[in-house]
Homo-oligomer: A and B are copies of this chain.
């Protein structure tokens, strides 16, 4: 059986991205592989076996084209309001809290935060399958 193990995004500035994912999401470096032309950084925390892989290509300075296909990486948190406040207190700029209840019944509570390269991260309140 296949197992989902990581998602990879290309980022421009390794230090900036590693700091962001540590401060905003609490992910730390599980491994770092440096090659002549590029570096791979694997980020994780104890809550999941799934990792985020960052690729840093040497000599790339133009922002990556994020297109309109890839959407986001989602994380769940137990207290969404507290997390939103913590991020703002730490200088991040999360979007507004959204109650998603298209038919009157709440399906999700969430907000989005962008990483240094503009990739979206969805913070979902832990509930039901979002746990």
Contact = CB atoms under 8 A, between A and B. Distances in A.
Interface residues of A, number: 55
A103 to B, nearest CB: 8
Contact of A77 (B2, B36, B117): B2
Taken together, the copies of this chain in the complex come to 2
A70 B72 CA distance: 10
B4 A50 contact: yes
A7 interface: yes
B65 A4 contact: no
Interface of A: 1-10, 25-26, 30-31, 33, 35-36, 42, 45-53, 55, 64-77, 83, 102, 107, 117-119, 122-124, 126, 129-131
